[in-house]
Chains A and B, each alone.
Chain A
Amino acid sequence: MEISSASNLCLHLISCAFQRCRLSLQLCRISAVLKSLSPSILQISISDTGIGSCLEEFQDLNCSSIIAAEFWDGILSVKTTAICDDEIYHYHLNLRKNISSSRTLTRLPSNPKNGLKFSGTEVYLSISESIDVLVSEINHFFQKIMILNIPNIAIEVVTEREDIPGSRCENVFLANKSNPGPLSTSNVECLKSGLEDYVSRHGNSLTQKCNTCFATSERLKVGSGIACSTENHKSSGLMMEVVVIISELESKCPCFRECSSKTEVLYFKDFTPCSISHSTLNVLSTIDWQSYGLTLENVVDQGVCVLEWGDSPSHSQIDMVLHCYNKQYPMHKTQPEQHLIKKAFTAALNNLKETHPGILRSAHALKICSHAPDLARSIAGLILSSNDPDFQGECFSLLGLESREIGANAVEDCIQEKIVSVIEMNDRKPRQRNVVAPSLFEDDCDHDSNYQDKEYEEGEDEFLYLD
């Protein structure tokens, strides 16, 4: 793995700590302590109470550029212990050399655990970086990670400037501040509530939920989808999780974003926020957005991935997050699989459609729905103008209406609602399956009759008859 800056090195080490805590399934803590010894020297300690490290995650780092530029001396001091270990192991890793075989791993004396059962890791290093720059990067990183909303991890960032007494500062990040779920909640459920929280705070611009826009939870419509590689597949254990949220914003909210016709696709790979790859971007443009009533105009890669929509309703905002990860540890390089990404996105969009009738209607369904009022009016008109009470009674009973509630509007609304629900139900079905509706007078269609499944084409008459 290529490390391009000292900050990135720290973030990578924090990310590894995060993985170890996630896999622990117990309540864990990550502490990042930053001490500036002088304006440009930082002593960093990253400790966690997750599962013990197997050191592989440190050994394939390529830090030649930062070592050459003297931002780091290449030395990592690592203390780690697994729950079943009797000792706390201590290592010095020297990553100065580029080739892993010539890298040195020095084992230092271990500490006994005296029968206590715990696990964790501590990593020490010194880098040349401004504390403010690093703190800002780390905070930003953790804010993003909060979207994953992993419930069992508490994060603490401590900063201290040695030359300024009393400058010790602590910042704590806790998942699930507003809606704590049980520790056993699946990753995708955590991701859902994490994104909900992010969207309701207008993407980290607020510390609390915006009450102007999201006083009620109905303003947020959430859908999620997952796709995973099969057992026998070469990259088994691969998981793709997608959450899509459609929110209705209030124009009087000061945070009302004018550009609601854009969606930033948040991307996580192996529980780390990162920028989306080109191949993944390409997959996004192959999704059949039209069948959800969305027109994708452009996919922009400006470091973050932005989808630009045409024709979106002005008060609606779409937010999306994609998380690709490998369930196994240690993490092999996760290569997101294109078909799985598409599958996960489609599953999330379909989930949204199913749980919230009326949204993401395809252009086709919207067009048909526009005729529903006319059809309902006609049918209602036929029922109500009849002079046969038995016929009317049977119609009302089919519609589930009590005779005392019969006003013209009630009948019409009832029929329209049922028509729209059929249209939406068909809209949720995969396109390939032809929806074959029964005909009005079934007995007429003999099986041996010449049934043409064609639309009736006008203009084939021999003459223009006006009789």
Chain B
Amino acid sequence: MKFFTDREICYADILPPSEVRARIEVAVLNFLKILTCADPAISDLLLINRKSSNRRVSQGLLTDDDTWIFLSRSFCKRSLMRANAAKAFIRVWKVMEMCFKILLQEKRVTQRELFYKLLCVSPDCFSSQLQVNRTIQDVVSLLRCSRFSLGIMASSRGIVAGRLLVQEPEKEMVDCSECGSSGYAISGDLNLLDRLVMKTDARYIIIVEKHAIFQRLAEDRVFNHIPTILITARGYPDIATRFLLHRMSRTFPELPIMALVDWNPAGLAILCTFKFGSIGMGLEAYRYACNVKWLGLRGDDLQLIPEESFVSLKPRDLQIAKSLMSSETLQEKHREELALMVQSGKRAELEALYFHGYDYLGKYIAKKIVQANYI
């Protein structure tokens, strides 16, 4: 059960192209009206603040399991009248123009493709991919429509392996347990992912942080010993992977989802992103939060790891830890684990478990699952 004020939440709608174009046209008309009225001005762009100060949490009333973060009604503006930031203002219009044209052509592009297109058309305005990505988020904030609705495909890094049958519309059924260690690649097309037909006989879903670990587990066909679906975003969770995971959680609600991450703050952060969502994509990705449990590595596994495998925490790790600590969504037990990490000043990777042999990892996972040793 949840209680929250509907007014507080700000979200980006998933809209058909015609609706997005209509919103852009409204933006242009408003701009022109303000520019040509009796007291003319160049209108500012009001964007929803994508900062931690504007982060709110929706807490499940009865359990911790249904918690997710969203962005609220705090705004920031981009203005032409501020000489040092005028370029950022222009960039928003440039991206809007480009997306408008893309939608008219009924195409979809990746962020990378968009960057190159913008570089050709307006080389003075854009200098890096990161700048383009941020500007895209500005447009999402301004028009309140999802990135995907703007015609921008997420390039996905995600892959799935294990006991899952997937069928894309009008295509053959794919058995993810037969895809080898490279697995089934998750498309960046959210529309397509939405229409995937999925069947499973797995009992668990495991999110794997790193590609190398995923490959090892897929190669050893761990999912046959314990009926699981393995999914990885190969690092920081991208929206397509999160989307698919969320779909899986709704399609197979009885399957617990657990995460296999390195024992360091970054690993926990990845888990939290799958679990609660992120500020960066806060306007649209709040929907894709899933109830994820922490399988390993955890504090009670440290005795399995040889002393030499421990490495000192870096400043970046401590920064991430600090940021996680200050988040009110972090569960008590996770908080304790994090405190232990910081206290010890050390971190360890999953690969350290290979000390006990290359097949140890599969056994380790199986044991933990059977013992329901996840938090």
A378 to B126, CA, bound (A): 14
Contact between A419 and B42, CB atoms less than 8 A apart: yes
Is B168 interfacial (CB-CB < 8 Å)? no
Is A371 interfacial (CB-CB < 8 Å)? yes
Contact between A449 and B80, CB atoms less than 8 A apart: no
**Residue of A371, A440, A453 with highest tally of chain B CB at under 10 A:** A440
Chain A residues lying within 8 Å of B279, measured Cβ to Cβ, are: 461-462
Question: Which of A48-56, A152-160, A300-308, A382-390 lies at the interface?
Answer: A382-390
Contact between A460 and B42, CB atoms less than 8 A apart: no
Contact between B76 and A456, CB atoms less than 8 A apart: yes
Is A445 interfacial (CB-CB < 8 Å)? yes
- Picked from B25, B51, B97, B142, the residue with its CB within 8 Å of the CB of A378 is B97
Question: Smallest distance from the beta carbon of A34 to chain B beta carbons, Å?
Answer: 61
A415 to B81, CA, bound (A): 17
A467 to B152, CA, bound (A): 11
Question: Smallest distance from the beta carbon of B21 to chain A beta carbons, Å?
Answer: 8
Chain A residues lying within 8 Å of B45, measured Cβ to Cβ, are: 439-440
Question: Smallest distance from the beta carbon of B89 to chain A beta carbons, Å?
Answer: 8
- Picked from A423, A441, A455, A458, the residue with its CB within 8 Å of the CB of B42 is A423
Is B88 interfacial (CB-CB < 8 Å)? yes
A418 to B134, CA, bound (A): 29
Chain B residues lying within 8 Å of A371, measured Cβ to Cβ, are: 80, 86-87, 89-90
Chain A residues lying within 8 Å of B46, measured Cβ to Cβ, are: 439-441, 444-445
A442 to B85, CA, bound (A): 22
Is B338 interfacial (CB-CB < 8 Å)? no
A450 to B52, CA, bound (A): 14
Contact between A452 and B75, CB atoms less than 8 A apart: yes
Chain B residues lying within 8 Å of A415, measured Cβ to Cβ, are: 32, 35
Is B114 interfacial (CB-CB < 8 Å)? no
Contact between A425 and B40, CB atoms less than 8 A apart: yes
Is A132 interfacial (CB-CB < 8 Å)? no
Question: Smallest distance from the beta carbon of A268 to chain B beta carbons, Å?
Answer: 39
Question: Which of A86-94, A277-285, A348-356, A394-402 lies at the interface?
Answer: A394-402
**Residue of A391, A439, A452 with highest tally of chain B CB at under 10 A:** A439
Chain B residues lying within 8 Å of A463, measured Cβ to Cβ, are: 236, 269, 278, 280, 320
CB within 8 Å for A452 and B74 given contacts A385-B101, A440-B142, A467-B238? yes
CB within 8 Å for A466 and B24 given contacts A437-B81, A455-B82, A456-B78? no
Interface 1/0s, chain A 423-467, versus B by CB < 8 A?
Answer: 101100000000101111110111001111111101011111111
A381 to B104, CA, bound (A): 13
Contact between A438 and B44, CB atoms less than 8 A apart: yes
Question: Smallest distance from the beta carbon of A393 to chain B beta carbons, Å?
Answer: 11
Is B125 interfacial (CB-CB < 8 Å)? yes
Contact between A382 and B97, CB atoms less than 8 A apart: yes
A244 to B156, CA, bound (A): 64
Chain A residues lying within 8 Å of B24, measured Cβ to Cβ, are: 382
A367 to B89, CA, bound (A): 14
Interface size on B (CB < 8 Å)? 73
Is B267 interfacial (CB-CB < 8 Å)? no
A221 to B244, CA, bound (A): 68
A387 to B89, CA, bound (A): 25
Chain B residues lying within 8 Å of A374, measured Cβ to Cβ, are: 90, 94, 122, 124-125
Is B368 interfacial (CB-CB < 8 Å)? no
Chain A residue nearest to B130 in the complex (CB): A464
Contact between A451 and B75, CB atoms less than 8 A apart: yes
Is A375 interfacial (CB-CB < 8 Å)? yes
Is B224 interfacial (CB-CB < 8 Å)? no
Contact between B77 and A382, CB atoms less than 8 A apart: no
- Picked from A367, A399, A437, A449, the residue with its CB within 8 Å of the CB of B36 is A399
A170 to B26, CA, bound (A): 76
- Picked from B43, B74, B236, B323, the residue with its CB within 8 Å of the CB of A465 is B236
Is A368 interfacial (CB-CB < 8 Å)? yes
Chain A residues lying within 8 Å of B72, measured Cβ to Cβ, are: 450
* A-contacting residues, B271-302, CB 8 Å: 278-281
**Residue of A446, A462, A464 with highest tally of chain B CB at under 10 A:** A462
Interface 1/0s, chain B 19-47, versus A by CB < 8 A?
Answer: 00100111111111111100011111111
A455 to B46, CA, bound (A): 10
Chain A residue nearest to B143 in the complex (CB): A441
Is B133 interfacial (CB-CB < 8 Å)? yes
Question: Smallest distance from the beta carbon of B280 to chain A beta carbons, Å?
Answer: 5
Chain B residue nearest to A458 in the complex (CB): B134
* A-contacting residues, B164-211, CB 8 Å: none
Question: Smallest distance from the beta carbon of B367 to chain A beta carbons, Å?
Answer: 32
Question: Smallest distance from the beta carbon of B129 to chain A beta carbons, Å?
Answer: 8
A383 to B28, CA, bound (A): 8
Is B145 interfacial (CB-CB < 8 Å)? no
A364 to B90, CA, bound (A): 16
Contact between A378 and B41, CB atoms less than 8 A apart: no
Is A379 interfacial (CB-CB < 8 Å)? yes
CB within 8 Å for A400 and B44 given contacts A456-B88, A465-B278? no
Is A422 interfacial (CB-CB < 8 Å)? yes
Chain A residue nearest to B242 in the complex (CB): A467
Contact between A438 and B41, CB atoms less than 8 A apart: yes
A246 to B49, CA, bound (A): 46
Chain A residue nearest to B81 in the complex (CB): A435
Chain B residues lying within 8 Å of A461, measured Cβ to Cβ, are: 50, 279-280
A465 to B238, CA, bound (A): 8
Chain A residues lying within 8 Å of B43, measured Cβ to Cβ, are: 437-440
Chain A residues lying within 8 Å of B27, measured Cβ to Cβ, are: 440-441
Contact between A379 and B93, CB atoms less than 8 A apart: yes
Chain B residues lying within 8 Å of A426, measured Cβ to Cβ, are: 81
Question: Smallest distance from the beta carbon of A423 to chain B beta carbons, Å?
Answer: 7
CB within 8 Å for A382 and B28 given contacts A375-B80, A375-B93, A445-B46? yes
Contact between B30 and A441, CB atoms less than 8 A apart: yes
Contact between B281 and A439, CB atoms less than 8 A apart: no
- Picked from B26, B44, B97, the residue with its CB within 8 Å of the CB of A381 is B97
Chain A residues lying within 8 Å of B78, measured Cβ to Cβ, are: 455-456
A444 to B32, CA, bound (A): 18
**What are 24 A-B residue pairs whose CB atoms fall within 8 Å in the complex?**
A367-B83, A371-B80, A378-B97, A382-B25, A385-B100, A391-B25, A399-B32, A438-B41, A439-B44, A440-B44, A440-B142, A441-B27, A441-B30, A449-B74, A450-B54, A456-B77, A458-B134, A462-B269, A462-B323, A463-B269, A464-B130, A466-B133, A467-B154, A467-B237
Known: A439-B44, A465-B281. 16 other contacts (CB 8 A): A371-B80, A375-B80, A375-B90, A381-B101, A388-B21, A391-B28, A399-B32, A415-B32, A418-B35, A422-B41, A437-B79, A441-B46, A441-B142, A451-B74, A456-B47, A467-B239
